[in-house]
Structure 1
Amino acid sequence: MTASPLFLAYRGLTAAVEPAGRPFLGWRLRAGKEDPARLGERLGRASRPRPAGVLVWLHGASVGEGVSLLPLVDALLARGARVLLTTGTVNAARVLVPRLPSGVIHQFVPLDLPGAVGRFVAHWKPDLAVLAESELWPNLVEALHRAAVPLALVNARMSARSARRWARAPGFIGALLGRTALCLCQTEADAGRYRALGAGRVAVTGLLKYDVPAPAADAEALAAFTAAVGPRPLWVAASTHEGEEDALIEAHLLLRRDVPDALTVVAPRQPNRGPPLLAEAQRRGIASAARSRGDAPGAATALYVADTLGELGLWFRAAGLVFVGNSLVPPGGGQNPIEPARLGCAILHGPHTDNFSDVYPALDAAGGGAEVGDAAHLAEAAATLLGDPAQLRLMARAAADAVEGRGGATARTLAALSPYLPSAA
């Protein structure tokens, strides 16, 4: 497919600014967003040799995308392939690397600069490239195309808002999608949007996150936390974002009027949100403690900031009620409600849940989830459920039932990828 003028302009501009890549990484390093020992990987300089045999490269930008690929990693290893997994964030690496099977290589994805992605592709020479959700970087796509590496999008999604934006640059998105061999979508709506924007081979394989096991929890840590909380009513606001945390503090204050001994646990999506969240809660006169400081919730603690990585499984097991964040204020999009639902938690969420446009309606229809529009509505719903344990248990059971039996996306994805996989034997 002929590249559009905008596509060519992007490539020319990124080539011109490539010398600024290292200073840019230095700025990100000072902000705590890069691993100082692995900056070379972000410039396409591999820190590991390429293994012999068939190599499949999987990329998930952040924690959620990377975790969704774990069942596919296992399936590819079972076929005899070698696997390279890349992520774009330090937090994703910290969560995923301990969960990777032996032999899987992790690297940071290179910046989308022509030289960086060229070095990356030349070193790894993947037999198949698999990008999760919506990770379409022009220089990376072009480098794979020139190296004749088939490229597949898996777990692909496209919101109506994103589709409208891309429609303003049809040549640009058409050039990207025209260089993909396969687009495997979460829903029929996603598939229709990709087709309208120029994708060729499109199929619906479902949501990979249904196949991901529930997050683990350290048994001793869970026992210590539940012992510290005791019989107090407990709820968790999980994967919250900066724009909605003020509303959650307000909801906590309103809730305590009806449930004076309620303990609110707030687990921000980014752990660096912990200190400002704690400071704001304390400024509002709320007795607070923070996980990152080694605090345990005492009898007087009203709000507990769970600002650590990899412990969502602990909070979901400790609570029967979870508000899933990035959903209360626009633009939002919603975080993954499948994990708390699978662990038997009733789900509350805001109205902005486009990232899981099939999951939240299914939870709500089954009676396992409920939408809240603002802080007051959230506080009211939490007070009702915490005050009626029988109703809370029924809602939690409905949530678990709603997500059971909806797996199979990994098997369908692997079947669709199989024609592009050389024989590992």
Structure 2
Amino acid sequence: MARPLLYSAWVAASIALVPFFARREIAKLRTAGVSVERAQEKLGYPTAERSRGGPLIWFHGASVGESLSVLALIRRMGEILPRAQFLMTSVTATSAKLVGNRLPSRTIHQFAPLDAPGATKRFLRHWRPDAALFVESELWPQLLRRTHEGGARMALINARLSKGSVSQWKKFPSVSKYMLDVFDIILTQNTAMAGTMKDLGAPSDRIRPGVNLKSMSDPLPVDTSTLTTMRDALANRPVWVASSTHPGEEETVLEAHKALLKTQPDLRLILAPRHPERGTQVADLIDRSGLTHSQRSTGGAPGPQVYLADTLGELGTWYALTDIVFLGGSLRPIGGHNPFEVAQAGAFALSGTHVTNFAETFDEMQVAGAARLVADTADLTTQIGNLLSNDQDRAMACKAAKAYSASKEDQLDQIAQQLITALELSP
């Protein structure tokens, strides 16, 4: 396929701009506590050796959610391919930390190289992937084309593009076709996205409507020591969790909690904002609401009315403490957060109505009786109040959540086998 002029222009521009982007990206990692050596991975310099054993299968996901969504898939493919080695790349320090703590066996994490000739060449020359799987919408032109030209079989998995991204790609049809042609298989999150990929120039015979991989991710880790300590501190009080909340949502959660305390005075709320660095800001909101609180980051225990869980990587432990979880990022048009993680913990998921990132998952879970959408403060208060006051209904809701979680196991097997076949990987 002929190289579009715009692609050539991007290559030239990246050569000129790489010093600026390199300084910026490395500075961000260093500020987040990443070592100088590991930050240099952004320039394609490896900090680990490639195994000389079986095939190397490379997964790339830019964000925390994208990276975590494929860990279960890596683990399942590793079971089927016992000689395979896996490389996981991501972009941010947060994703590196969370993924690094949960890597499956025979898996290495590195930061993805910048999309510039030198960095991508160094990266690919060292790692020489036999297969490369890109997650969701992380489509860097040079990284894709150079991987393809190196002979790796390639997949786009969990494919999803926002309306804005689709509009941009449609302005440059030759470039989108040139990019999407590298993939031997494209697994989309739903049928509508499969049609979108075809419209953007992807070969129709390589597109497969799939499911959202985040709906079959690994269970969140639970720290059993912390869990025991928290249960002792809660002393059998009822508790609900509001997780991954964003600015403008904590007010709604706190108002609902104040209303619930009128009939459930022993009720405790564990509030876990999406970005823990907002802890001081959220603590001020709690103080202004008139509720008492303690704060995880300062060593507090969950005795007061609100426990501010402003730490990273502990959601699994908080979910294990409750039957009811409200997921933020959904009362405003943010797109929602992963309800499957709640179901895996055996809890019932409540969410606002803005759940475009997980629309299919919420639809399935609502039908299964494992989740429910709420419109506002009054609705949230009513739904939680009903669940707290009816033990039988709450138990049935949690049972439905566990059943939904179990139903996804077979689908993960099917996706793993589909990819192994399309990428010509053999046990």
TM-score by length of 1: 0.90
* Structure 1 segment 24-423 matched on structure 2, within 5 A: 24-29=24-29, 31-32=31-32, 34-53=34-53, 54-78=55-79, 79=81, 80-160=83-163, 162-200=165-203, 201-298=206-303, 301-330=304-333, 332-419=334-421, 421=423
Match of 1:9 in 2: 9
Deviations 1:43-87 (A, max 9, x none): 211111222142111122233222222233223433111111112
TM superposition shift of 1:258 = 4.5
Moved more, 96-105 or 187-196: 96-105
Instruction: For structure 2, list consecutive stretches of 5 or more residues without a partner in the other structure.
Output: none
Distance 2:197 2:327 in 1: 28
TM superposition shift of 1:412 = 2.6
Q: Match for 2:113: what amino acid? A: P
Alpha carbons of 1:37 and 1:284: their partners in 2 closer, same or farther (altered >3 Å)?
farther
TM superposition shift of 1:140 = 1.3
Runs of 4+ in 1 over 4 A off after TM superposition: 33-37, 159-162, 419-425
Deviations 1:364-406 (A, max 9, x none): 1222211112233223322232233332222222232233323
TM superposition shift of 1:163 = 3.3
Match of 2:19 in 1: 19
Find the residue that maps to 1:251 and give its secondary structure.
helix
TM superposition shift of 1:319 = 0.6
Alpha carbons of 1:343 and 1:421: their partners in 2 closer, same or farther (altered >3 Å)?
same
Deviations 1:76-117 (A, max 9, x none): 433111111112222222222232234321111122333222
Alpha carbons of 1:413 and 1:364: their partners in 2 closer, same or farther (altered >3 Å)?
closer
Alpha carbons of 1:421 and 1:170: their partners in 2 closer, same or farther (altered >3 Å)?
closer
Deviations 1:291-331 (A, max 9, x none): 12221112xx122121223322211111110011221101x
Q: Match for 2:314: what amino acid? A: E
Distance 1:366 1:422 in 2: 36
Is contact 1:14-1:113 (8 Å) kept? yes
TM superposition shift of 1:153 = 0.9
Distance 1:169 1:410 in 2: 34
Distance 2:396 2:185 in 1: 41
Indicate the percent of aligned positions where both proteins have the same amino acid. Answer: 36
Instruction: For structure 1, list consecutive stretches of 5 or more residues without a partner in the other structure.
Output: none
Distance 2:14 2:250 in 1: 36
Alpha carbons of 1:10 and 1:382: their partners in 2 closer, same or farther (altered >3 Å)?
farther
Is contact 1:34-1:89 (8 Å) kept? no
RMSD: 2.5
